[in-house]
Amino acid sequence: MDKLKIAFCIATYNRSIMVEEFLEQFSNLFFELEIDIYYYDSSDDNKSRVVVEKWMLEYKNIHYVQIPTSWHANKKVLYIIEKFGINQKYDYLWVCGDSLRFSESVIRKVIELLKLNYDMIIVSHSGKEHPETREYIDKNELFQNCAWYMTLFGAVILNVHTMIKDVPWREIKEKYEVPNHINYSHVGYYFEMINKLDKMRTIYLSVDQGVWTSRYKTAGGWFNDAFKVLCEYWPSTIEELPHCYTNKKDAINKLGYCSCLTPRSFLQYRNVKVYNIHIFLKYRKILKDMSRLNYFQLWSLSCLSSKLAYFIAINDIPGYFSNRKKIYKLNGFCKKYKDIYVYGAGRAAEQYGRYLMKKGINYSGFLVTSKERNPDELLNHPVFLISEHEETWKNKGIILGLNQQNLKDVQSVLIKYGLWENTFHEYILPFVLEER
């Protein structure tokens, strides 16, 4: 293949600002590389059309197509694929969402790989499962390892002559353009067509940098139904694939723990009221498999404080209760001394000071090794230099208000002044101190 013809197709809806951003950044590069840009616009206003037509006056490789506003995002993708399969004008088709961006270096790498006549190229910036670029010739191995990542619009580049040739469109649409499959109909299409190939060659291109999303990106239209889409539509679509694809449950689960159902994702969903206790109760069984979190962790993420829930999700329950036990030890320690000081004057010391105030435990102030960069007062309590009035600190209760890195460093100082024995030196996680 000497002169490749590549079509870069972008489906957009009411995002003229992102259309302008993309064309400002990439129109000249795509013209230089002789890649044709097609905008498929389903907006209910003319703003995107105006932007694209302005750039069309300068660049002949930019095209505009109006499509119905009512179409589902995935129906647009299959429509684009179908149209390019009919005319066979191009060698490769790259269908992308309007917010995804690729650097020049990534695009040039892709072009070099396209010259090798692959059936597909998968461009990945995740790196979780495949830190290295590799080639696939086994269809089932590709399915098991990569199906989850191929859900992303823009991740897959199709060879028009092998992946969009002799497509049984009626069968594809009847199978995947239905409510419980349409959100992942493009994935259904990929693997239906792969199954029809006698031999398959796909390259998985792993890039650490050079892939990003527009700064104007907002949540997708399906975001409010995220758990219905992930827990119902994704599994049912995968189960609908041909029987040659095995270990389907593993492929289903991988989309969760590799991408959409990490502990941080759950908190993001919860912040916008998409994940809650009701969603947990409804989908807890499949969420357990897809996220690799246990029921208690999933429940925590649905209703406990964000910091506590996140700690439980990425650590373990015993670790949390171990810190709770330290709180009881701290309270017992404070009862043993009439005068209490917190060692430190930074953020950790302030958290201990606030905890003591919240519990109604009186303390006399803060101790520091050096006054340099430390305040004279913190939380309306004086900050003392430990080297002054050395005898004053004897028989006083001292709480180490330091982060884990500094705890060991200060041990020798306290031993030097004979204060280690009357010091509480167990580290307590900040959010545990902040709990009510």
Surface-to-core class of residue 424, CB atoms within 10 Å of its CB (0-12 exposed, 13-18 middle, 19+ buried): buried
Residues 156-185: tens digit of each pLDDT: 999 999 999 999 999 999 999 999 999 999
Percent of the chain with pLDDT over 90: 75
- Residue 2's pLDDT band, with cuts at 50, 70 and 90, is low
Give me the pLDDT at residue 220, please: 65
Cβ atoms 423, 393 nearer than 8 A: no
Over residues 392-419, the mean pLDDT reads 84
Over residues 83-98, the mean pLDDT reads 92
Encoded tokens for 187: 């994935």
Which DSSP category does 231 fall into?
Answer: I
Encoded tokens for 101: 């961006």
Q: Walk me through the domains of the chain, giving residue ranges and CATH numbers.
A: 6-217 (3.90.550.10), 228-318 (no CATH), 332-434 (3.40.50.720)
Cβ atoms 279, 302 nearer than 8 A: yes
Give me the half-sphere count of Cα atoms (radius 13 Å) on the Cβ side of residue 196: 14
Longest dimension (CA), the chain: 91
Inform me whether the pLDDT recorded for 222 exceeds 80: no
Give me the pLDDT at residue 131, please: 59
Over residues 393-397, the mean pLDDT reads 86
Task: Report the alpha-carbon angle 84-178-99, nearest 5.
Answer: 55
Residues 16-29: tens digit of each pLDDT: 999 999 999 999 99
Centroid of chain to Cα 418: 49
Cβ atoms 287, 260 nearer than 8 A: no
Q: How many residues does the chain have?
A: 436
Higher pLDDT, 85 or 189: 189
Over residues 241-255, the mean pLDDT reads 96
Radius of gyration (Cα) for the chain, nearest Å?
29
User: Other CB atoms closer than 10 Å to residue 174's CB: what's the count?
Assistant: 10
Give me the pLDDT at residue 88, please: 81
pTM for the predicted model, two decimal places: 0.78
Residues 106-157: tens digit of each pLDDT: 999 999 999 999 999 999 876 555 557 899 999 999 999 999 999 999 999 9
Q: Please state, in angstroms and rounded to a whole number, the distance separating the CA atoms of residues 265 and 302.
A: 12
Percent of the chain with pLDDT over 70: 97
- Residue 254's pLDDT band, with cuts at 50, 70 and 90, is very high
Cβ atoms 83, 40 nearer than 8 A: no
Lowest mean pLDDT among 121-125, 237-241, 278-282, 284-288: 121-125
Give me the half-sphere count of Cα atoms (radius 13 Å) on the Cβ side of residue 225: 10
Q: Please state, in angstroms and rounded to a whole number, the distance separating the CA atoms of residues 167 and 158.
A: 13
Give me the pLDDT at residue 71, please: 94
